[in-house]
Structures are given as C-alpha cells and as structure tokens.
Structure 1
Amino acid sequence: MSHPFQESLSNIEKRLEELTNAVTKKQERIFDKVIINNDEFQKLFKISPGTAANWREKGLIAYSQINNKIVYKIEDINKMLDDNYRPFKK
C-alpha cells in the first residue's frame, strides 16, 4: 500500500514532465513557422521594442510592415544570425 503523499508527489512529477515537454515543443515550433510577428521576435531574442526598432533601422534584420503590423521571415532571422556569426578562434 503506497502512501498518499508519495502518490501526489508522483502525480506532480508526471505533470511537470508533461508541461516541460509542452513548453519544449512550443519553443521548437517557432522555427517551423514561415513568419513571426514583432512580439514573437522580441521574445525570441529577449529584446525590448526599442531594440527591435533599432535593429530594423540599422538594417540588421529585414522585415515587412503591413499597415502598423511588423513581421519577420524566419529565413531573414537565420540570415541575420549567419551574418553576425563569430566562430571560435583557434
């Protein structure tokens, strides 16, 4: 006969694992998209709206603006990462 505390701990661990898997899947899916909006872009890089605007003004990231909505192509984000890549020095 198992202890009730042990059962609830087991349930918590199981739920935590399910939530971890769900979060991981959601994070991976952002690169499956073709475009992301400005909020997603800022969250992805953990930057402020001002920094995102600065990157656009400097030409660091290509973007599309439709009325007031700004979107980015994932391929352009990958290009920005490649263009700013600094390999390890040997």
Structure 2
Amino acid sequence: MSRPFQERLTNIEKRLEELTKLIAKKQENIFDKVIIDNDEFQRLFKISPGTAANWREQGLIAYIQINHKIIYKIKDINKMLDDNYRAFKK
C-alpha cells in the first residue's frame, strides 16, 4: 500500500474509534434517563400492586413518587436485579 493511502486508512480508523466511543457514551446517558411507571413495572415482573409496594417499602427498588404517581428508572431496576442475582451452583 502507498503511504498516503495507509495514512488515510489510519485516520479513518481513529475517527471510527472516536465515533464508536461517542455513540456508546450517548447511549449510556439516554439509558440512564429512561423511566417506566408503576403499571409497566408490575407487568414487567408479573407482580401485584401489593408486591410492588412491598419491594419499595423493603428498599429493594428505588423509585420516584410525584403526588400519587410512582415511576422507576431503568438503571435502578437493573441495579435491583444485579443486587439480587444468585449465580447458578453446580
């Protein structure tokens, strides 16, 4: 390969790496802000309103309450799942 071609290729690779990092960072920021309401949370986990209330009272899941509306950040749901993960034992 000629030197100018190799330099252009290297520049393209560097730019692709930068763009990949930028996209990954933006996706993380968007994901952190995604929320679902209490009805969606109950449907997702197939639980009753009482179970959802118990989980909140026990501190198993973080939530936001504005007046009577309860919402959850997806980030907090993932944290609850990670905190309660039990690895398979052979």
State the TM-score bracket (shorter-chain normalisation).
Answer: 0.5 to 0.7
Find the counterpart in structure 2 of residue 81 from structure 1. 81
RMSD: 1.3
Q: What SS does the aligned partner of 2:62 have? A: coil
TM-score (normalizing by structure 2):
0.63
Distance (Å, rounded) in 2 between the aligned partners of 1:44 and 1:67: 23
Distance (Å, rounded) in 2 between the aligned partners of 1:74 and 1:49: 18
Shift in Å at residue 85 of structure 1?
0.1
Question: 5+ unaligned residues in a row in structure 2: which ranges?
Answer: 1-30
Deviating 4+ runs (over 2 angstroms): none
Quote the sequence identity (%): 85
TM-score (normalizing by structure 1):
0.63
Greater Rg by CA: 2
Ranked by relative contact order (alpha carbons within 8 Å, sequence separation 6 or more), the top structure is 2
Find the counterpart in structure 2 of residue 60 from structure 1. 60
